[in-house]
Amino acid sequence: MEFADESRLHNGNQAAGLYYPLGEFDAENVGIDRISEDSTRLKQLGYKQELGRGLSFLANFSVTFSILSVMTGITTLYNQGLSFGGPIAMVYGWPIVSLMTMIVGLSMAEICSAYPTSAGLYFWSAILCGNGWSPFASWLTGWFNIVGQWAVTTSVDFSLAQLIQVIILLSTGGTSGGGYEASKYVVIAIHAAILLSHAVLNSLPISWLSFFGQLAAAWNVLGVFILMIVIPTVATERASAKFVFTHFNTENGVGVNSKLYIFILGLLMSQYTLTGYDASAHMSEETKSADKNGPKGIISSIGISIIVGWGYILGITFSVTNIPNLLSKDNDAGGYAIAEIFYQVFKSRYGSGAGGIVCLCIVAVAIFFCGMSSITSNSRMAYAFSRDGAMPLSSLWHKVNKQEVPINAVWLSAFIAFCMALTSLGSLVAFQAMVSIATIGLYIAYALPIFFRVTLARKSFTPGPFNLGSFGVLVGWIAVVWVATISVLFSLPVAYPVTDQTLNYTPVAVGGLFILTVTAWVFSARYWFKGPITNIDD
């Protein structure tokens, strides 16, 4: 594999690119007699093998699939879907978003196959930009990627803390029965405990994470099928097919009346859920046959999530009979729609909502696994980004322990996710602004290397084993346009009149990250950050 621009092949002090001409490199060039094909490929990209390479395709897929976790995203934002459009927005919005997400995933998988490294997106941008702006492209992509990942972990673990609070509320009698409703300080303490457990689990050797990842994948699949069958089966009242497939809810209580506008806002549930599949790329230095299994992990995790996610939406929505009651803060679950559905379904059938609480525990375990895998992905990204000197105290965060785990990066990721959640103590508006980066910010990081691939590297890009052939450029452009579209749509106001409490802070949060990243580049990083650098001695 060769590039037309020879300036990209440097000695570690120049702008990002491949550090050895791919057509010329082999193990013998660096004095290594017996080295795996994966390690050789990694050395071609300029890095030595430091992490334990023990993940199979199934293990790689499992980590990513558990991050996508449809039970996590759909459960957390089901209120959003019910409020904006209801059944139509969810039942039909899911396939639309799924199709476009698969297109983004296909483009990322093609690039992942060509450059299988834990650095992932920012490394891809550096190579594909391929000119004097390469370090800046790498810097911008990397910071959007890592902050977006931390925001995902924050939102996932905080949503689990909120769900645990709801489970406690229902277990002690619910809102109408004087149940215990935890304060915001108790919720943040639960969030901290969850993060602590995730950091401990991620400090274990990769073989343990592989086991937990596969357990998480199985739990997510089986859990969805159990819930989508049990809930409508137990329900004494079920929605009609006409309601599920044709009802459009316009009663959102926030002054949004346009049906098209409402439908767009309802899409956020689906797009938020289908996020985080870059994890397969970040795990590539621990995956066998990474140039094949990394792309397969991305595509298969999205594909299976699409199928089970739509089934989960249908199963739950067939149990919806009174939308205003589900969204009311006065219901037993305090306005948590899916929790109220589960609880009332069993209470109406058996006189007790205990079975619904058990079902909520199934969801809670899935969210727990999602947060655990998110920390795994975060830590690998932080490890790679600091390995290239992009983070403060970089030498600390890319250290690997005897079990070949980037231990410091693990605990850093957990700590930052805790700090980001502290904004909830001020107001949930501020917290929502923080975690909005989890969707839009992360997708911007996805789109940047794809954009460079279809523009600057359109003719020079040499694909890996997995490629889209002549359709690569077309698919890439569709992916870029979709990300640009949702970046605008999800930045629109979600309530009228617009006040400081109803303003959509997504553009503020994402724009603030952009300003901080560019400012840091202009005044500091451009003098010392040269993009990905080799850690192999000549």
At 430, the pLDDT band (50, 70, 90 cuts) reads low
3-state secondary structure 220-256: HHHHHHHHHHHHHHHCCCCCCHHHHHHCCECCCCCCC
Cis peptide, bond prior to residue 497, ω within 30 of zero: yes
Got the DSSP string for 480-501? HHHHHHHHHHTTS-SSSS--TT
Tokens 């503020």 belong to residue = 508
Mean pLDDT of 322-341: 93
The sign of the CA dihedral 309, 357, 436, 269 is positive
pLDDT at position 235: 92
pLDDT at position 9: 31
Half-sphere exposure of 508 (CA within 13 A, CB side): 12
pLDDT of 449 higher than 80: yes
pLDDT of 355 higher than 50: yes
pLDDT at position 498: 80
- Widest distance between CA atoms in the chain: 74
User: What pairs with residue 55 in β-bridges?
Assistant: 287
pLDDT at position 101: 96
Half-sphere exposure of 473 (CA within 13 A, CB side): 10
Mean pLDDT of 9-28: 36
Lowest mean pLDDT among 149-153, 353-357, 531-535: 531-535
pLDDT at position 434: 67
Predicted TM-score (pTM) of the model is 0.87
Q: pLDDT, tens digit, for every residue of 122-172?
A: 999 999 988 788 999 999 999 999 999 999 899 999 999 999 999 999 999
- Residue ranges per structural domain of the chain: 54-527
The single-letter code of the amino acid at 140 is L
Q: pLDDT, tens digit, for every residue of 113-124?
A: 999 988 889 999
Using the 8-state DSSP alphabet, how is residue 55 labeled?
A: B
At 6, the pLDDT band (50, 70, 90 cuts) reads very low
Mean pLDDT of 204-219: 86
CA end-to-end distance (rounded Å), the chain: 21
State which fold the 54-527 domain adopts: Amino acid/polyamine transporter I (1.20.1740)
**Non-local CB neighbours of 438 within 8 Å, separated by 6+ positions:** 148, 151, 152, 154, 155, 272, 275
Residue 286 to residue 289: CA distance in whole angstroms: 10
pLDDT at position 30: 35
Residue 237 to residue 257: CA distance in whole angstroms: 29
Residue 197 to residue 418: CA distance in whole angstroms: 12
Query: Is residue 527 classed exposed, middle or buried when 0-12, 13-18 and 19+ CB atoms within 10 A define those classes?
Result: exposed
Q: pLDDT, tens digit, for every residue of 51-61?
A: 777 788 888 88
> Mean pLDDT of all residues in the chain?
86
Q: pLDDT, tens digit, for every residue of 382-396?
A: 988 898 888 888 888
Plot region of 267 (φ>0 → left; ψ -120 to 50 → alpha; else → beta)? alpha
pLDDT of 499 higher than 80: no
Residue 120 to residue 280: CA distance in whole angstroms: 9
**Non-local CB neighbours of 311 within 8 Å, separated by 6+ positions:** 224, 225, 228
The more confident residue out of 404 and 69 is 69
Mean pLDDT of 490-508: 81
pLDDT at position 268: 87
User: What pairs with residue 287 in β-bridges?
Assistant: 55
Tokens 């490629």 belong to residue = 467
Q: pLDDT, tens digit, for every residue of 230-242?
A: 999 999 999 999 9
Mean pLDDT of 425-446: 79
What is the number of other CB atoms lying within 10 angstroms of the CB of residue 1? 12
Q: pLDDT, tens digit, for every residue of 28-57?
A: 443 333 236 877 888 888 778 777 777 888
pLDDT of 305 higher than 80: yes
